[in-house]
Chain A
Amino acid sequence: GGARGAVPFSFPATPLRSGGLGSFRLSSQRPAELWEAAAPPEFDDAANLLAGNPDATTISIDEPSENPKNQYGLLQDSRREEDDELLGTDDSDKTELLAGQKKSAPFWTFEYYQTFFDVDTYQVLDRIKGSVFPIPGKNFVRLYIRSNPDLYGPFWICATLVFAIAISGNLSNFFIHLGKPAYRYVPEFRKVSIAATAIYAYAWLVPLALWGFLMWRNSKVMNIVSYSFLEIVCVYGYSLFIYIPTAILWIIPQKAVRWILVMVALCLSGSVLVMTFWPAVRDDNRRIALATMVTVVLLHALLAIGCLAYFFDAPDLNVLIPTAAAQNGTIVATKTQ
């Protein structure tokens, strides 16, 4: 709405007490941290009150034209504001104030790592849903992650994917080779470690490379949008989720079915990746931007095709027909008996 005209607020130039200031409603989620980091002296009373009762809703001065659902952060980055307009994210829930103040614990304490797991069940499920059903025009990072990247999703989705691929590959090979006389079932446990290496390398090294590349381009061309390393890891982690049902469905020993599944999965998650990273490179040289997008999608496709080729044996079409005939023969034989 119209309340986007809120000026970036800067302490201590503008006193809190004046009524005509314009409005902001402070989030009551983490008021203690909120005040700790950036409170000038005149806010000490409020800070003490809040420290005593952390669940209390804090001061709210409403702008007349503001939609009561909107929450605007102080110190709002005007660049991000503009960019949200361009991306068409009309989400009213912006708590960007807390973005810079979240990870304030030093990195050798346990609390620092707890900030990366600050998600609830419904948030994880929403992010998974957002990675599988891309909404055109909406940016996954802005819409779902919103300055709260988590490591829970990437880590456990990768773990699940590793075992899904290993187990599905094992099962599919078992069914394909079932009729053959010389075949003896082996659990193929070695492949688990290979799958784990491949998938975790993809989920962590590719974001690292991409982040490094984007930082480098950012130093040359001023981009509107820039992502932190954890946000990129988050996007990649959640975009791998689509491969889990794909891997399970790859048990079906039909080449056409498998390739259709690859295409569908690639379209869905690839489009999430493209829509996320396009705004970060579009201001750059056209060719470089396009090359980056193509590389991102290509690596994603390579992972899928590589897993398909290595873990899933090709279904032998000319073996299926004799085994079908053999089955018919045995059925006839048993019937006559």
Chain B
Amino acid sequence: MAEAEESRAGGAAKPLFAGLSDVSISEDIPVEGEITVPVGSHSPDEDYSTLDEPVKDTIMRDLKAVGKKFVHVMYPKKSSALLRDWDLWGPLVLCVSLALMLQGGSADSKEDGGPQFAEVFVIIWFGAVVITLNSKLLGGTISFFQSLCVLGYCVLPLTVAMLVCRLVLLASSGTVSFIVRLVVVMAMFGWSTLASTAFLADSQPPNRKALVVYPIFLFYFIISWMILTFTPQ
């Protein structure tokens, strides 16, 4: 078509789009694409309207997800379930129960009591946020909430330790009980640290792993210290 135009113009005036006649698309450059229009595809969510199901089902689904993650923490294998479907319900429940159990220590002592509820809460959440920021700044590939989720769930062994400590303290508060508490807390501290490291260490650059693991160690150490020094009124 451009050539016809050219011949009409006679060559005196420059034809429009002159250069286009020389343009050709070589055959070996593939032109790809899709022009299909999706016709009413059934996405899985459409069949799964949560509005019609009984409330019990909704709650049980979330509880099961949380429970599954608890199991993952207690037996830390390298599964990606904890990371993929993160949720913060588990950490919230653990943090609140830990803070409540630590609450009773020296509540009416004016100055130098144990940590109050708000202090434990802030330490756990602020500590988790700082560690997550630290690992992201060092070049980690994990997302913010995934990391919070892992750190929160790995408080579970320490919550169990707190429960055990309170029970032991109900029985006696002498040296023997202290040694029992010390052993339990140390074991749970090791478990927490190993569990969270197992989940988080892979997402870090290899020559900075120790830089990321150390704050996690410090975080669980502080929580363990608060558990160990808990003295009931």
Binding site secondary structure of chain A: helix
Do B226 and A187 touch across chains, with their CB atoms under 8 A apart? yes
Chain A's closest residue to B228 (CB) is A187
Interface check A160, CB cutoff 8 A:
yes
Interface residues of A in 230-272 (CB under 8 A from B): none
| A160 proximity list for chain B (CB < 8 A) | 218
Task: State the interface size on chain B (CB cutoff 8 A).
Answer: 29
Chain A's closest residue to B120 (CB) is A189
B215-227 CB mask vs A (1 if < 8 Å, else 0) is: 1001001100110
Do A156 and B214 touch across chains, with their CB atoms under 8 A apart? yes
Chain A's closest residue to B105 (CB) is A187
Partner of B106, one of A116, A120, A156, A187: A187
| A163 proximity list for chain B (CB < 8 A) | 218, 221-222, 225
| B209 proximity list for chain A (CB < 8 A) | 121
Interface residues of A in 114-128 (CB under 8 A from B): 114, 116-117, 119-122, 124
Chain B's closest residue to A163 (CB) is B222
CA distance A122 to B222 in the complex (A): 25
Binding site secondary structure of chain B: helix
Do B138 and A117 touch across chains, with their CB atoms under 8 A apart? yes
B190-225 CB mask vs A (1 if < 8 Å, else 0) is: 000000000000000001111100110010011001
Interface check B137, CB cutoff 8 A:
yes
CA distance A124 to B112 in the complex (A): 36
B131-153 CB mask vs A (1 if < 8 Å, else 0) is: 00010111100000000000000
Do B229 and A187 touch across chains, with their CB atoms under 8 A apart? yes
Do A189 and B113 touch across chains, with their CB atoms under 8 A apart? yes
Do B115 and A121 touch across chains, with their CB atoms under 8 A apart? no
B9-51 CB mask vs A (1 if < 8 Å, else 0) is: 0000000000000000000000000000000000000000000
Using a CB–CB distance below 8 Å, which chain A residues touch chain B? 110, 113-114, 116-117, 119-122, 124, 152, 156, 159-160, 163, 167, 170, 184-191
3 cross-chain pairs, A with B, having the tightest CB-CB distances, nearest first: A188-B112, A117-B137, A187-B229
Instruction: Offer 23 A-B interface pairs, CB within 8 angstroms, sorted by A.
Output: A116-B137, A117-B138, A117-B139, A121-B207, A121-B209, A121-B211, A152-B134, A152-B138, A156-B218, A159-B215, A159-B218, A163-B222, A163-B225, A186-B106, A186-B112, A186-B231, A187-B113, A187-B114, A187-B226, A189-B112, A189-B114, A189-B115, A189-B119
